[in-house]
Structure formats: C-alpha cells, structure tokens
Amino acid sequence: MTKKKEPKINLLEAFKAVVDCKNIDDAIVEESLKQALITAARKYLNIDKHFEVSIEESGEVRVTLLVDVVDDYPDVDPSMDAETVQEFDEHYMLVDEAKEFNENALPGDRLEMEVPVSAFGRQAIQTAKQYLIQHIRDAERNKVYATYRSRIGSIINGEVVRIEGRNAIVSIGRQTEGVLPFKEQLGKERLQQGSSVKAVIADVTDSAKNGAQVILSRTSGMFLSELFRQEVPEIYEGTVEIKGVVRDPGFRAKISVYARDERIDPVGACVGMKGARVQAIVRELGNERIDIVHWDPDLITFIRHALSPANIVKYFEVPGTRRLVIVIADEDLAQAIGRSGQNVRLASQLVEHDLDVYGEKEWSEKSDEEKQKVLTPRNNELIKAAALNESGLFKEDTEALAGSAESSDVQAEGQVESNTEKDGEAN
C-alpha cells in the first residue's frame, strides 16, 4: 500500500511546485490541477473521454473515467460547432471500446472506472505538468490584466528590480512587475537596481508571447496630472479642474487649470504657499519647469494666458484652419518663443491651435502681399480642419473665435489688451 501511495504524493508535489508562491486564487489553482490530471489520464489511456477528479483534504487524488456505453453516438443539434460536439461525444463510449475496460459492458451501462494515478507514466505526467504551467500562466496574465487595467492613470510607487537593455523592470505589487521603458524615463535620471521610483500606469498590454505587461511612465501628461492631484487638495476634491497638460519631459511643461468656484484662484491653489506644492512636483520631475496656466473658455484670453507674461499686440485668424497669427511686443518676443521654440510649441499644444508668432516690428515691415501669404490657408491645414469639422470639433473652435473677435472679417485684426494678470510659473 505504501508503494502505491508514494507516487500519488510525488505527483501532487510535482504539480504543487508549479503553483507554489503564485498569487492565484485557490479555486483557479484547484481547477487547473484537476484539468492537468485529466490531461495525464487521457494521455495514459490514450482516449479523449470524460473524467472526473476529486482531491481530498488529505491530499489523496481520485481520477475516474465516467461515460455512458452506447451502440452509436446520439444525434447532436446541427447548430453545434465542432468543439461543442466533441465535448458532447466525450460523455459516450461505443460498446466495443468499453469492453476493453470492462468485458461485461453493455449498451445503456454507465462505465465508471478509477484510473490509478500511480500508474501514470513519466510522459503523461510531463504532459500534464506542461498543461498546468500554461494554465497557471494564463490565470496570472488574466489577473494582472484585470487588476491593473482599471488602474490606468493612477500613480504607483515601486522599486527597480533589474535593468533589461535600457528598460527598468519595477516591482509594483506582490509578484507583479511593471515595465518602465527607456522612452518613458526622464532623460536626466539614471535608474539602477534598488532605486525607488514613482510612475503612472500608462497602459496594460496583453499578448500570448509576453503575457500581461503593465507599462509605466514618468514622461506622460497623466503622470504630471496625478502628481498635481496628489499635491493639491482642491484638485483632488474637484473644486479645481485640470483642463490640459503638455510636456517636454524633463525640461518644461504647461498645465491649464480652472476653478468652478469664482472665489478660488486655481493658479494660486496649484502653486501653494511660497510655492510649496508646485516645488514638490518640480523636485519629483528632476527640476522640470512647470507653467501653470489659467484656463479660459474664451480662446484668445486662454492664448494670452498660455503665452504670459508676453504681451500680445494683435492676432489674426487664418480662415478655415486651426492656425492663428500672433503678433508679440518686440521686447517679449524671445520669451514668447522660448529656447528653440519650446514655449510657443507647448503653448500651441495646450490651446490646441497652431500659433504662428511674429514680433511687432517684423510684422509691420512685411508688405501687404507678404502678410496675405502668411494668412493664406495651407493645404495640409485645410485637410486637417476638414477632418475636425466632420467630428464637430472645428465648429466649436470657430464659435469660440467668433466670440473673441469683434470683426466678422476673418482677416481682421483683433486688438488684445496688455496682460496685467500673471500666470503661475515654477522654475
């Protein structure tokens, strides 16, 4: 009896080694183990029939062949697919085949035969073990995907466990790792094994080759938004709303904010007392410069805030496009454009319009023909505007501009008052 029981224990231990330390629900593990034992039984008897498995608390395993003996397979519903028909047929066995297991088997009998687990050969056990490994991997993948898919956009704190190529592999939970790709890391930082890292869950991918992967980011706008949500109670509570975020990661960012309550200064709330709130975020981002912009439903006012403290002297709407020509006071031109055009580029992205910036002197020296050429829509702009018009977005922008400009002439100049209101800026 001892010799018969020993292989059963060894078999369970072999399978148990596969699932040990896996953060998988017990019911899923048990079901996977049962399916693995059925796979081994089918391999051992060389039949694709119905088996039932019971696992006692003592660890004893019973695998039972359970089929109905028939002269011929019952008719099936014509609407059944091939897989369903196969599952249906597994519950039946022709009488001649049944006699191989019980010579007294007759049509109408219920063939119930326990298959000795101790008799499973090494090949059958190896096949079952491979099935179990794959099934557990699938369960792990499904759990990671379901758990973290709903957390996209939330911040996690983790530790770098290793570097693969230039990607950082980060421990983000019990036996769960996230990938922080090189392109999602700030250029100035150098992560290494053991480094603590804060990042946002940017995506969760799922593939048969790599399984479920949690993709992290420190360069996305989502990360900056969540950092402000953590640092600024008014944003967390919803009294101040983040309208948009654009970044040149590691160097400069612009974030537009709006207060539902007119009594609240959204820029001041984000800056904090003596800049404490925004400076905490700046430090986390390796001294990335952050401009906090007061969002306004009036497009021209919003643009003025986005380019603040530069003084906008004139603006022109380019008809049928999302481009505006902005004329800046000469003394503010360099600041408005920024190093390598960084400031105006980020401002354009924030207001979701192309801002074509000129100095006041440069614009005044242009001939009428040259000005007309600048204000003439380009083919690519018209194509882009047509696509947006179909979605209804361009119509909304046109209405916003119409409310900003007094003249109905699309090429008319719009006079903009000097900006006396400072937007928040952190260096």
How large is the greatest C-alpha to C-alpha distance in the chain, in angstroms? Answer: 109
**Domain termination site, one of 98, 123, 146:** 146
> Quick check: 421 pLDDT over 50?
no
Does residue 33 sit in helix, strand or coil? helix
In degrees and rounded to multiples of 5, residue 47 shows phi and psi of -140, 145
For tokens 């980020």, the residue is 346
Q: Which residue has the higher pLDDT, 183 or 393?
A: 183
At residue 392 the predicted structure's pLDDT band, cuts being 50, 70 and 90, is low
Distance from CA of residue 97 to its chain's centroid? Answer: 53
Looking at 5-19, 68-82, 404-418, which range is the least confident one? 404-418
Range of the domain at 38: 2-146
Q: Which residue has the higher pLDDT, 62 or 392?
A: 62
For tokens 């609240």, the residue is 264
Q: What is the pLDDT of residues 9-49, one digit of tens each?
A: 355 555 655 555 555 666 777 787 788 888 888 888 889 99
Q: What is the pLDDT of residues 241-295, one digit of tens each?
A: 999 999 999 999 999 999 988 899 999 999 999 999 999 999 999 999 999 999 9
Task: Give me the mean pLDDT over the 335-361 stretch.
Answer: 95
Element containing residue 378 per DSSP (H, E): none
> Quick check: 8 pLDDT over 60?
no
Looking at 108-112, 209-213, 259-263, 277-281, which range is the least confident one? 209-213
Dist. CA 171–CA 357, nearest whole Å: 46
Tell me: do 121 and 203 sit in the same domain.
no
pLDDT of residue 406: 40
Percent of the chain with pLDDT over 90: 56
225 Ramachandran zone, left/alpha/beta (phi>0; psi -120 to 50): alpha
Q: Which residue has the higher pLDDT, 188 or 73?
A: 73
Q: What is the CA radius of gyration of the chain?
A: 34
Tell me: do 31 and 122 sit in the same domain.
yes
Element containing residue 197 per DSSP (H, E): strand 196-207
Tell me: do 173 and 273 sit in the same domain.
no
Tell me: do 98 and 133 sit in the same domain.
yes
Task: Please say whether the beta carbons of 232 and 241 come within 8 A.
Answer: no
Residue type, 12: L
pLDDT of residue 27: 72
Task: Please say whether the beta carbons of 218 and 180 come within 8 A.
Answer: yes
**Domain termination site, one of 263, 295, 327:** 295
Quick one: three-class SS letters along 168-181? EEEEEECCEEEEEC
Give the pTM.
Answer: 0.70
pLDDT of residue 126: 75
Tell me: do 14 and 130 sit in the same domain.
yes
Task: Please say whether the beta carbons of 275 and 296 come within 8 A.
Answer: no
What lies within 8 Å, CB to CB, of 393 at 6+ separation is: none
> Quick check: 412 pLDDT over 70?
no
Here the CATH number for the domain that contains residue 105 is: 3.30.1480
Here the CATH number for the domain that contains residue 184 is: 2.40.50.140
Q: What is the pLDDT of residues 371-391, one digit of tens each?
A: 999 999 988 878 877 777 776
Task: Give me the mean pLDDT over the 195-205 stretch.
Answer: 94
pLDDT of residue 65: 93
**Domain termination site, one of 217, 234, 252:** 217
> Quick check: 364 pLDDT over 90?
yes
Task: Give me the mean pLDDT over the 49-63 stretch.
Answer: 82
Tell me: do 359 and 283 sit in the same domain.
no
At residue 423 the predicted structure's pLDDT band, cuts being 50, 70 and 90, is very low
DSSP for 389-404?
A: HHHTHHHHHHHHHHHH
> Quick check: 359 pLDDT over 60?
yes
Tell me: do 355 and 318 sit in the same domain.
yes
Q: What is the pLDDT of residues 149-174, one digit of tens each?
A: 999 999 999 999 999 999 999 999 87
Element containing residue 414 per DSSP (H, E): strand 414-415
H-state helical runs in 249-378: 266-271, 276-284, 299-307, 333-337, 342-351, 360-364, 368-374
